[in-house]
Amino acid sequence: MFLRFILYITLFLFCISNACAEVKIGIVYYNPPFIINKYEGFDLTLMNTLCKRMKLKCTFVRMGEQQLFPALENRTIDLAISGIVISPQREETYLFSLPYLLNHGVFVVPPQSNLQHISDLKGKFVGVKNNQDDSVFGEYLQFKFSNQFQIKQYDTTEDMFRDLENGFLDAAFAHQEIVNYWYENGFARFKIIDRPHLVGYGIGIVGLPDKQDLINNINKELLEIDKTDFYLNLYKTYFGNQ
């Protein structure tokens, strides 16, 4: 009986030292290849690995894309991950991990389109997807190309690519990895014009400023796994040989 009591006390102290801490992580329902479903995706695999290395009990909370940042603010979740772009505006309010991927945007047009260069898009309708609570890609186009395009914003990638295929858009500007995933899996038909554009400061895990210790530990583990084959293998699994 005494030994059992000692065991319970030992386990309790072990848990309160953060080894058994529960962290709630917000993810979107669908944003391939970052989040494919509740079990699969680049970000899910990465976050599960980080949690295991940090000995954290992580619970994933699925929600709509526009709910991620509000959920952080009302503390429904501790962190969020779903291909979230690090931008100067977001860094004013939120704390980000080190970027685990660069964020490149590419212009795509229908396969039969005669548009070949960005200059051909002047005055044309260009679709962008809202990212979480704002449009990082839309802001980039406004900053980089001023008012050259007529920008149309979409809540989902599906709607944007559907309008592109049906002739309601002249072009779309989207994350390169997402574009490649949709094309290679036969979900949409288009062609890329021009070179990739670096948008924001990369993609990271986000929390409120009071999660500094947790983000610091995540950064430490990101640097550690970068020294192994894990990250390269994970990248090839979801992004191929891009």
Domains of the chain: 23-101+202-239 (3.40.190.10), 104-198 (3.40.190.10)
What's the pTM?
0.87
pLDDT score, position 14: 42
pLDDT for residue 53 is more than 80:
yes
Name the E strands within 70-213. Answer: 79-80, 95-96, 104-109, 125-129, 150-154, 171-175, 191-198, 206-207
Residue-wise pLDDT for 64-91, tens only, equals 988 999 999 999 999 999 999 999 999 9
Kindly report whether the peptide bond that precedes residue 33 is cis, defined as omega within 30 degrees of 0: yes
**String of b and e for 157-180 (b: at least 16 CB within 10 Å)?**
beebbebbeeeebbbbbbbbbbbb
Task: Let me know how many helices (H) and strands (E) the chain has, helices first.
Answer: 9, 10
State phi, psi for 123 to the nearest 5 degrees: 80, 0
